[in-house]
Every structure is written in structure tokens, then in C-alpha cells.
């Protein structure tokens, strides 16, 4: 409760926004163990620790948003489309939408879905774009690696702004965006730790969670590499979502 009170002030004035960024950064820096023996810069340690938590959730997050939007644009049409999706075994709605978007066995169903979205061009384009990004192993790997680089760049950007605020009290006009991103990174780390504890993973420390998240990321990359230049199919799409 004290931690939440620290990072979530009741109003977002300029001063409150500065405090929020500083408090979030302090919370993250406090949670992530300092490895003095490595000789690595502290910011590099924080970047390396935070990035896997965010990256392993990225594909799931964008597919989850697509699932939600596709389901709510027209539930009757969505039900018809999803009922026709080719799957290797019974699946929940999230996996069914993922199969519709990603897998080669559902090319015809995907084209039918595009036709039902003629009056919803933004959603239609998003599903089309996701198919291009998620339907081949090499595209999946490029997507994840590019996202990882963007997260690393953003964390370093946040760190520079944090130092600017701490030393001069000044902050750039885009600080609210940085705070939102930092809040997401903080949430992703905590949610991973909580979910791991619930699922029974042997995680006793924050350091264990950081190591485990990196292992999860490497597993996803290995599964993507196994697809290679081939198309994603109903036999392997679950391994990357």
C-alpha cells in the first residue's frame, strides 16, 4: 500500500508528474539487485533486467488488443468468423483470433474476415498488418528484436530525463509519455513476479524473476528460430504467443 501511495499521487500537475517519474524510477532501481562484481554501469543493469519482462509480453499484448477489437466491432460476425477458424485442438477466443491472424491454414478465413471489415478500415488494416508481421518466423524475430531495441532506447531516455529532473528540476514536454511507459514497465515486472508465484514457479527473489524472464524470452526466440523462413502454422503458433 505504501509503495502504491508513493508512485500514484492523486493529481498529475507538473510537480506531481516529476515526482511520479522519480518515484517510479526509484521503485524500479530499488527492486532490481545491484551487481557490483560485474563492473557494469547501473543503467545497463536496469535496462538488461527490465527489457525481458516487457518483450515477452509484446506479442501477447498486440494480439490481445486485436482480439478485443475484433470481438467488439460486431459480435455476430465475429462469432461466425471464429467458428470457421481451422485449429488443431479446441482453443479459447484469444488463441482462435491468433490462429486466424497468424496461420497459413486460415488464409481463406482471414480473407473472409477482411470482407466483413469493409466498413471498419482501421481494424481491417491492423489485422492485415499483424498478419504480415506475425505469419513468418523471420518477421516475428524482426518484430521482437525491434521492439526490444525500442524498449532499451526508451528506458535510457527515461533515465536521462530522470537525471534532468533530479539535478535541474526541468523536464521535457513529452515527460507524460515517458511516465506512462515507465509505469507499464513497472507493472509488467510486478505482474510477472505475481503470475510466476501463482503458477508455482520456483521464484524466491527478484533476481530469480529477472533470470527466469530472460530464459522465457530466449525460449520464445528459440521457438521463432525453429520456424525460420517458413510460415506459421496451427502446429507451432502457440509456441510464440
The contacts found for 59-66 with CB under 8 angstroms, 24 or more apart, are: 59/134, 59/140, 59/143, 59/144, 59/220, 59/240, 59/241, 60/241, 62/130, 63/94, 63/97, 63/98, 63/101, 63/130, 63/134, 63/241, 64/94, 66/97, 66/101, 66/126, 66/127, 66/130
Query: Per-residue confidence at 8, pLDDT binned at 50, 70, 90?
Result: very low
Rounded mean pLDDT of 134-163?
A: 96
Query: pTM score > 0.85 for this model?
Result: yes
Higher-pLDDT residue of 37 and 189 is 189
30-41 pLDDT per residue, tens:
999 988 777 889
Query: Per-residue confidence at 12, pLDDT binned at 50, 70, 90?
Result: low
Q: Is the pLDDT of residue 5 over 50?
A: no
78-110 pLDDT per residue, tens:
999 999 999 988 889 999 999 999 999 999 999
Amino acid at each position: 500500500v505504501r509503495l502504491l501511495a508513493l508512485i500514484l499521487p492523486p493529481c498529475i500537475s507538473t510537480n506531481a508528474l516529476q515526482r511520479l517519474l522519480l518515484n517510479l524510477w526509484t521503485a524500479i532501481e530499488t527492486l532490481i539487485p545491484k551487481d557490483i562484481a560485474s563492473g557494469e554501469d547501473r543503467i545497463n543493469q536496469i535496462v538488461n533486467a527490465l527489457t525481458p519482462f516487457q518483450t515477452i509480453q509484446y506479442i501477447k499484448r498486440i494480439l490481445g488488443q486485436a482480439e478485443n477489437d475484433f470481438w467488439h466491432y460486431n459480435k455476430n460476425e465475429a462469432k461466425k468468423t471464429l467458428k470457421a477458424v481451422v485449429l488443431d485442438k479446441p482453443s479459447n477466443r484469444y488463441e482462435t483470433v491468433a490462429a486466424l491472424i497468424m496461420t497459413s491454414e486460415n488464409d481463406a478465413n482471414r480473407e473472409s474476415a477482411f470482407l466483413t471489415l469493409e466498413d471498419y478500415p482501421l481494424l481491417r488494416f491492423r489485422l492485415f498488418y499483424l498478419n504480415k508481421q506475425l505469419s513468418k518466423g523471420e518477421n516475428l524475430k524482426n518484430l521482437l528484436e525491434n521492439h526490444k531495441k525500442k524498449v532499451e532506447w526508451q528506458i535510457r531516455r527515461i533515465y536521462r530525463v530522470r537525471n534532468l529532473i533530479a539535478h535541474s528540476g526541468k523536464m521535457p514536454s513529452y515527460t507524460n509519455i515517458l511516465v506512462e511507459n515507465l509505469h507499464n514497465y513497472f507493472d509488467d515486472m510486478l505482474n510477472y513476479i505475481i503470475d510466476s508465484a501463482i503458477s508455482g514457479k520456483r521464484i524466491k527473489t527478484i533476481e530469480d524473476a529477472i533470470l527466469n524472464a530472460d530464459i522465457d524470452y530466449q525460449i520464445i526466440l528459440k521457438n521463432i528460430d525453429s520456424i525460420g523462413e517458413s510460415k506459421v502454422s496451427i502446429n507451432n503458433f502457440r509456441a510464440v504467443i
